[in-house]
Structure 1
Amino acid sequence: MDDLSDIIERLVESEVDFVLVGGLAAVTHGSSMTTQDIDICCDFSSKNLLRIQAALAGLHPVHRMTTHQVPLELTETNSQALKNLYLDTDWGQLDCLGEILGLGSFEEVKQRSETIVLDGMECLILRIDALITAKEAMSRPKDIETIKQLKAIQRENT
């Protein structure tokens, strides 16, 4: 998970406006599930997307959902139409989402987040109740165990 933490560190240092969501957020809250990627919900303004690109400089980011693994080459113009980015980098996968099912837009997600210290750096993470809501809304079989664990963690913390 060191490479994933290093990606988050780069995002924080580049002042990317994001909230950590998905599997890594669940692990951070105490889930024993494993994850191989980072999922963030972020501001999809050109300015913020260009910060993401700068944060990933040197990691050879490519669009994961394209046939030929097209390199990430954002400009103010071509970034305006984007709603999500699914990237592969030398250090792992990064999924950048403009909204989260069950929660809504980035601003709504941000309102349901909290600041944590992760490997010595502050970042926003989806609160456990919101993470449960999002995972339930996706209703994927792979999330069932994570939801059970998150609910148990939530009960222990109240």
Structure 2
Amino acid sequence: METGDRLDRIAAALVRRGVNFVVIGAWAAELQGFDLGYKTDDIDVTPDFSTANLERLSEALYDLGAMIRTGDEELPFNHDGDSLGRASVWNLTCDEGDFDLTFKPPGIGGYRELLASCNIMSVEVDGERINVPCAHPADIWLSKKAVDRPKDREALPILYAQLGASARDRIEDPRRPRGAG
């Protein structure tokens, strides 16, 4: 199974449990048709931090058989909504692939801020269409700039060149209201 199909399945598990989230990072860019100069092999998600949503997220993680990812090791873990909310980032893996939960991604705020300007993309999983909220490309760019990894530094000019004028304006003036372009 191709990487994109596996990542679709992770998003589908979240959607089926009613988890409120926005996909960030390279997979969100790819779903929206942007090329970052590399293909990602994981999915990065910013979930809503509400108690009820964290409980639904915990159920979805059990559905996926999620384990903590630490380098080459995979560690099983017990969790509930409360315990998930105690960390700002979870690096996880499951049979479908690797994924990260990041409650406050660098440079772009949290779920509510991302939701205000996200784009809804549709993917097909097992014959079912699911809607996946993806971070606005300007937010993806701002996050990659804030993280400042070598692969992100290489991707920044590639992504920037593909953005429309309103997205570039938002990058250059982050105070510009979300949802404006």
| Length-normalised TM-score, structure 1 | 0.85
Letter aligned with residue 15 of structure 2? V
Unaligned ranges ≥5, structure 1 = none
Matched, 1:124 2:133: yes
Aligned residue in 1 for 2:12: 9
Q: Distance in 1 between matches of 2:158 and 2:72?
A: 36
State the number of aligned residues. 158
Look up the SS of the partner of 2:146 in the other structure.
Answer: helix
- Deviation sequence 1:102-142 (CA, Å, 0-9, x none): 11122222223122223332121111111111111212111
Identify which of 19, 22, 37 aligns with 2:22. 19
Look up the SS of the partner of 1:64 in the other structure.
Answer: strand
Matched, 1:41 2:50: no
- Deviation sequence 1:31-70 (CA, Å, 0-9, x none): 1521111101112334323322322335321111389633
1:100–1:106 CA contact under 8 A, matched in 2: no
* Residues 1-158 of structure 1 mapped to structure 2, 5 A cutoff: 1-29=4-32, 30-31=34-35, 32-65=37-70, 69-119=74-124, 120-155=129-164
Identity %: 27
2:114–2:136 CA contact under 8 A, matched in 1: no
Look up the SS of the partner of 2:83 in the other structure.
Answer: coil
Unaligned ranges ≥5, structure 2 = 168-181
| Distance 1:64-1:156 versus aligned 2 partners, 3 A rule | same
Report which stretch shifted further, 141-150 or 96-105.
141-150
Letter aligned with residue 29 of structure 2? A
